[in-house]
């Protein structure tokens, strides 16, 4: 999956397939759901904490995630609206064109993935340098 917006109908198919694949260790599925975190602040970003949301991932991403990869990024589609960032959900959905835009997350090894730094900066501002 990449950053290309996805039509609503295609997302509905992806979501249905992800719901069917509850076992993340079983091969053969097309799409899966995992939890990822949306940090509320920079301390949460660095510790890997935040609002847990369900996201749809493809099989290639699931295999990498299952290997506890600790570096790199991937794209996923949120299944729920964020409580921390309701504006984020509005940015991802284009109701006129009926498209959803995937979000980019960072792998964090055995921990939940976290929203990438540049997207988080757009939501909470740049990380201030310590003097």
Residue 128: predicted pLDDT = 55
Quote the pLDDT of residue 114: 96
Report pLDDT digits (tens) over 76-121: 999 888 898 888 877 888 888 999 999 999 999 989 999 998 888 8
Round to whole Å and give the CA distance between 62 and 74: 10
| Confidence (pLDDT) at 29 | 80
List CB contacts of 46: < 8 A, sequence separation 6 or more: none
Q: What is the pLDDT of residues 35-71, one digit of tens each?
A: 999 999 889 999 999 999 999 999 999 989 889 877 8
- For residues 68 and 47, give the distance between their C-alpha atoms in angstroms, rounded to a whole number: 17
């Amino acid at each position: 999956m990449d950053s290309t917006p996805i039509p609503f109908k295609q997302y509905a198919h992806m979501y249905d397939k992800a719901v069917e694949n509850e076992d993340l260790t079983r091969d053969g599925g097309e799409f899966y759901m995992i939890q990822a975190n949306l940090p509320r602040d920079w301390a949460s970003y660095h510790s890997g904490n935040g609002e847990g949301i369900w996201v749809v991932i493809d099989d290639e991403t699931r295999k990498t995630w299952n290997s506890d990869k600790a570096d790199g990024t991937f794209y996923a589609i949120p299944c729920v609206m964020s409580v921390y960032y309701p504006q984020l959900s509005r940015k991802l959905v284009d109701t006129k064109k009926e498209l959803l835009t995937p979000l980019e997350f960072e792998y964090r090894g055995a921990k939940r993935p976290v929203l990438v730094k540049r997207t988080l900066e757009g939501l909470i501002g740049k990380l201030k340098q310590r003097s």
